Amino acid sequence: MKKKSFVMSMILLLSISMVLAACGGKEGGKTEKASGDGKGGKPKFVSILTGGTGGTYFPLGGSFAKIITDETGIKSNAETTGASAENMQSLKDGNGEIAFTQTDIASYAKEGEEMFKGSKVDNVKAIGTLYPETIQLVTTEKSGIKKMSDLKGKKVSVGAPGSGTVANAQQILEVYGMKFDDIKKQDLSFDESVDGLQNGVIDAAFVTAGTPTGAVEQMTATEKVVIVPIEADKAEKLIKKYPYYTIDKVPAGVYKLNKEVPTVAVQAMLVARGDMSEQAVYDITKALFENLDQITHAKGKLIKPENALNGVGIDVHPGAQKYFDEKGIKASK
């Protein structure tokens, strides 16, 4: 009888232990997902949130995913998204580990401004800036649009909802004394904008992306592409009010342009969830910045580790900072 009682007691204790272990596993699930597999904080998989297939983020994200997979052993893939603003919100919500964003959008998210009013994003940190994100107001020769004031009353795409392009379009129109009410605003992605321009559904489209932008480049097969200039005085006015902009240009030859077109740019940046382990982000940062020769997109040539801390605007992830410290890289003043 005593033996039977002892066995029953052991079974009961074992059952209780299993329940407690299961509960502990559930409580620790989020930490394990964010920090890794418990072996040096190395996750088994990371998702890179990019943008539309016609932009620059997506093809670059594909190259980044391959480098991360090959060099760190962490499986990775690139996901199409609505780009910058959507990506910051997705990381806040835990849907993804790494993302592309514009420096201006990251700053809005951190401060709870613009599209992030009342919804600050405080769990995202920078890996590093990458290259200029050129603001391109794209139209066609047949539209007759040659300058910003020609946009009044026209059907103009200002970018996909949730993208940083929307804020860029609004701010640029502002320095020209215009608002969205002055145009027939269309909320289209890069690819949708190109289709709209080619089919005559829209007259012009704001595109914020590295040049050459795939979707715009494809237009040259059937249309004579026109990039509307942002004049120097307007660019200076814009930069004075919104310091994250810089002077830029679309070079001659790109999109078969006969001459370069003056414009402005923000910076593209790679960010990570703040709860990713220091070791994982260090490994990823090292892999990316030491294998830039594997990037086939033209923008890969502009990505340099020595420039990666310039203009980030938000806190740098400790893992990325460790890599830059080892290399003696600091932000330029």
pLDDT, tens digit, for every residue of 201-211?
A: 999 999 988 88
Predicted local distance difference test score (pLDDT) of residue 235: 95
* 8 has a pLDDT exceeding 50: no
Q: How many distinct structural domains can be found in the chain?
A: 2
CB 268 within 8 A of CB 307: no
Residue 113 and residue 54 share a domain:
yes
DSSP-assigned beta bridge partners for residue 248: 263
DSSP-assigned beta bridge partners for residue 138: 205, 227
Is residue 58 situated within a structural domain? yes
Model confidence over 21-52: pLDDT tens digits? 433 333 333 333 444 443 457 899 999 999 98
Is residue 90 situated within a structural domain? yes
- Tell me, what CATH number does 214's domain have? 3.40.190.10
Predicted local distance difference test score (pLDDT) of residue 40: 53
Residue 243 and residue 152 share a domain:
yes
Residue 154 and residue 260 share a domain:
yes
Look up residue 172 and give its two tokens: 């640029």
Residue 251 and residue 144 share a domain:
yes
* 267 has a pLDDT exceeding 80: yes
Is residue 186 situated within a structural domain? yes
Is residue 71 situated within a structural domain? yes
Residue 169 and residue 274 share a domain:
no
Residue span of the structural domain in which 249 resides: 133-266
Bond before 305 cis per omega within 30 degrees: no
Look up residue 133 and give its two tokens: 């994100």
Residue 137 and residue 122 share a domain:
no
- pLDDT confidence tier of residue 9, bands split at 50, 70 and 90: very low
DSSP 181: G
Is residue 190 situated within a structural domain? yes
H/E element, 321: helix 318-326
Last residue of a domain, one of 222, 251, 266: 266
Residue 113 and residue 55 share a domain:
yes
Q: Percent helix, strand, coil in the chain (nearest 5)?
A: 45, 20, 35
Average pLDDT over residues 191-220: 91
Residue 176 and residue 289 share a domain:
no
Q: Full-prediction pTM beyond 0.75?
A: no
210 backbone dihedrals φ, ψ, rounded to 5°: -65, 145
Is residue 165 situated within a structural domain? yes
Model confidence over 219-260: pLDDT tens digits? 999 999 999 999 999 999 999 888 888 889 999 999 999 999
Last residue of a domain, one of 223, 242, 266: 266
* 86 has a pLDDT exceeding 50: yes
Residue 290 and residue 218 share a domain:
no
Q: What is the dihedral of CA 19, 25, 28, 33, to 10 degrees?
A: -160
Predicted local distance difference test score (pLDDT) of residue 299: 87
Residue 247 and residue 181 share a domain:
yes
Last residue of a domain, one of 266, 284, 303: 266
Residue 286 and residue 262 share a domain:
no
The Cα–Cα gap between 44 and 51 comes to 23
